Each structure stands twice: as C-alpha cells, then as structure tokens.
Amino acid sequence: MTNQIAQSEQLAEDFVAKAKSRDLTVGIIGLGYVGLPLAEAFINAGIRVLGYDVDQEKVGAIKNAKTYIKHITDDRLTKMNETGRMEATTDETRLKEPDAILMCVPTPLNIHREPDISYVEHTSRAIAKHLRKGQIVILESTTYPGTSEEVVRPILEESGLKAGVDFAIAYSPEREDPGNPDFDTSSIPKVVGADSEPERQMAKALYATITTPFMVPNMKTAEAVKLTENIFRLVNIALVNELKVVFQGMDIDIWDVIEGAKSKPFGYMAFYPGPGLGGHCIPIDPFYLTWKARAHRQSTRFIELAGDVVMGMPRIVIETVAQGLSQKSQKSISGSRILVSGLAYKKGVDDMRESPSLHLIEMLQERGAKVDFYDPYIPVVPHTRDHPEFNGLKSIEFTRENLSGYDAVLISTDHDNVDYELIVDSAPLIIDTRNALAKFAESHGDKILKA
C-alpha cells in the first residue's frame, strides 16, 4: 500500500510539473458543441490538442477550417490550425499519445426517460485498449452521480492498470452555453472532482491552464453539481410556464409580470416561458437523477412534476394556434398552411438538439396542417435521432410573398436577425411564444396571439 501511495504521488508530481510548463498533450474525444470550444481553450493556452472523433466529416472540416458550429467561425478554426498545436483524427490507436483524455460524448435518454450511457461505455473501452501509465482520464459529459466510479473506472481498469496508482480519473462537467457572447470556456469556472488527493492535484493543474478550477471532494459530488444546476433551471422554467397559463386565464400578461418582478434587486431571478424545452441539458439531465434516485428508493416528485409541466407546453401552443385560426379566419389547423419561425432550441445558435420546434411541427402535421419552417442558421434539417422524417427539409426563402401565403406564423425561436416587422406586415396571424413582437403589440395587436 505504501508503494502504491508513493507511486500515485509521483504520478501527480510529474503531471503537475508538465501542466505548469504547458508541456502537455490533451486528447479530446468528441469534437462537437463541448469538445471543440474546449480544444480551442487549451490551444489558446499554449497546449497541444489531439482531437478524436468517429465522424470523418468533422475531422476533415477542422483540417480545412470549415466550421460546422455557427459560433465557432472559420477564422477561429484557421487560427487554431495555424498554431500547429491542433490535430484532429479518427485513428483510435492515437489515444495512447495524450497526457490527459477528456470525454465529451453524448448522454441522451431513451424512450423511457432512462439514461443511455452507451457512448460513455464505448468510449471508455476505446481508451482502455490504449491506456498507458501516467495518463488522466476525465469525463465531461453530464450523467448521474456514480457513473465515473461505477462505469468508467471498471472499464478502464480492464486494461490491467489501476486507477489512482497507474493512471488518474476525474470528473469535470461541461458548462458550455453556445452563442452566449458574455461567457466562453475560459471565463467559466470549472467544477472538478476526483477521489484521491493526487488525482485532484492532477485535474486541478490541467484545468488551471485554461480557467479557474473549483474543487469538490469527489467525482460523484461533481456529477451532482451539474445535475443540480440544470434541475434548478428546469424547475424555474416549469414554474414560469405554469404561471403564464394561470395568468392568461386572468387576462394578465406574464411578460409584464416578469418585468415588474425584475425590478426587485434581491430574492428574484428572471426565467422566461416558451414553447417547451430544448438543448441537450435541461430536457435530459434532471431525469438522470430521477433514474438514479429510484435505485436508492428515493422519490423525485418535484423534478418529475416540473418535467411534466414543460413537456406539456407544446400542446398548449398548438391549442393557441387552433384558437387563433378559428377566431381570425374561421379555419382549423387541418388544411392550414403554417410557418414555424425558428428551428434551433434557442436564439442565436444552429443547435437543434431536443428543440421544441420539431415537436411543434410534428404535432401540427398530425392535425393535418401543411408546415414549413424558416431559420437563418439552419438552411437544411440534418438527421436527428427523434425526428428522422424531417431529414433534408429546407428552410423557406424569407420574402413578403412567401410569408403572406401562410394562414399563420408560429414564432418558436426568437432569433435576433429575423425581420419581425416583415412578419407582422405580411402574415394574417402570428402566434408568439417568445414575446418577440412586444414592440408591435399596439400597431398589430389584432393579429398577434401570445402562447
């Protein structure tokens, strides 16, 4: 045991020294919305990066400085390549080269709202085949408390090496907010957890090269931190959506209520209603905890209720569309031409993951509507796991003539670069789920319905 402690301490000492001198190679598995900005942060800190992805198109795009993520521009990819510190590959055998390996892979839910950690398992096995002494492996994907300890560590130890002695393992959840101009990877503190002091030192030294690490006692605490952040958002978004429905019945505008509440300088944080939840975090992560809690015979009624509230919002939006068509033109959804404005899950990004717009289009089509979409950032719908039937669907040309041909326009995503004045001038009916048309309420209020 004494020898193992000495070995782990030496492991940490060597790694920390390399981190301080920037003499590291960081391997990043998964070059998507999390992995690519993370690679850029390390490169900007003077550290070599080996990016690995199974998608040859992504690897080729990086090499040719052709972006596939809107807010990571071609120029930023060019600068990354020009440093000589960025290399992307699909060659799994090269995973033996990095000093640190960061896993940024998907962790979706299955149809039963249960965690699908197959990507984590598969990636861990790929690492295990090439794992060498001295490396640190860190999972960044959001998951349930215990994943790193109960799933990742045993798979890695199938290599014959021992965690905490021959190699290190830690957990540090991603905190990316795509499209947010106020924060990037290097300006957001990084929660980091590991189960031994030498491993904590290694993980802290790694992330200190790009941002401010916030250390927690162990991996499962760090895993719980990420879930808590997203559950906080889920519960408050559910609350404001429920209040929206309640206040509508009293002829009170929730947006006016929120503006009034925001005037209080303490004890209140503004959350906003919408057509449902989107993105890879809030619609998914809280249910990792509900699943894990059941294994410990604990209930999560509050979280599940919040989930039920937000999952029901698209239905309320569709009913508002039906009401508006009936009142405005004595039409039903069946047979009507409806344009959904905004396909991304939030404004300013091209990220469609779990977007409520997809559910809205599906529900409208099920009720017999002819549905098109417009999104300045998504000209063509790529393949999606939940809605493969929309693959290849193209955004319309945004013209007055086209807009006037629809019975209703449903604003699902409030991109800033959309000409909303043209919409209110051209469309006979607009269903606004984001309060995007607030300034047109007086001049065009007769054709705008909030949902």
124-183 tens-digit pLDDT: 999 999 999 999 999 999 999 999 999 999 999 999 999 999 999 999 999 988 777 788
Does residue 336 register a pLDDT over 80? yes
CB 49 within 8 A of CB 28: yes
pLDDT digits 0-9 by tens, 39-84: 999 999 999 999 999 999 999 999 999 999 988 999 999 999 999 9
More confident residue, 402 or 387: 402
CB 408 within 8 A of CB 426: no
What 3 state SS string does 183-238 have? CCHHHCCEEEECCCHHHHHHHHHHHCCCCCEEEECCHHHHHHHHHHHHHHHHHHHH
If one counts the domains in the chain, the total is 2
**How much is the pLDDT for 383?**
83
In a domain, 413, yes or no: yes
Q: Are residues 213 and 251 in the same domain?
A: no
In a domain, 232, yes or no: no
In a domain, 414, yes or no: yes
Long-range contacts of 424-433 (CB under 8 A, 24+ apart): 424/448, 425/400, 426/400, 427/339, 427/403, 428/328, 428/329, 428/404, 429/324, 429/325, 429/328, 429/329, 431/317, 431/320, 431/321, 431/324, 433/273, 433/274, 433/275, 433/317
What residues make up the domain containing 196? 2-217
**How much is the pLDDT for 393?**
94
Q: Are residues 204 and 280 in the same domain?
A: no
The DSSP string of 324-342 is HHHHHHS--STT-EEEEE-
CB atoms < 10 A from the CB of 399, how many? 11
**What whole-number percentage of the chain has pLDDT above 90?**
81
* 104 is a catalytic site residue: no
Q: Are residues 321 and 268 in the same domain?
A: yes
pLDDT (average), residues 226-250: 95
**How much is the pLDDT for 384?**
82
Residues 6+ away with beta carbon under 8 Å from 116 = 107, 108, 109, 110
Q: Are residues 160 and 195 in the same domain?
A: yes
In a domain, 23, yes or no: yes
Q: Are residues 186 and 64 in the same domain?
A: yes
Confidence of residue 318 (pLDDT cuts 50, 70, 90): very high
Q: Are residues 200 and 270 in the same domain?
A: no
Q: Are residues 6 and 128 in the same domain?
A: yes
Q: Are residues 63 and 130 in the same domain?
A: yes
**How much is the pLDDT for 1?**
64
CATH at residue 412:
3.40.50.720
Q: Are residues 198 and 261 in the same domain?
A: no
Confidence of residue 299 (pLDDT cuts 50, 70, 90): confident
Q: Are residues 30 and 166 in the same domain?
A: yes
| Interatomic CA distance for residues 248 and 399, integer angstroms | 33
Q: Which of 138, 281, 318, 448 is an active site residue?
A: 281
Long-range contacts of 292-301 (CB under 8 A, 24+ apart): 292/144, 292/145, 292/146
| Interatomic CA distance for residues 319 and 307, integer angstroms | 20
pLDDT (average), residues 287-299: 86
Phi, psi of 319 (to 5 degrees): -65, -35
In a domain, 228, yes or no: no
pLDDT (average), residues 10-19: 94
pLDDT digits 0-9 by tens, 193-229: 999 999 999 999 999 999 999 999 999 999 999 999 9
Q: Are residues 47 and 192 in the same domain?
A: yes
Q: Are residues 371 and 251 in the same domain?
A: yes
In a domain, 225, yes or no: no
In a domain, 443, yes or no: yes
In a domain, 286, yes or no: yes
CB 59 within 8 A of CB 65: no
pLDDT digits 0-9 by tens, 397-415: 999 999 999 999 999 999 9
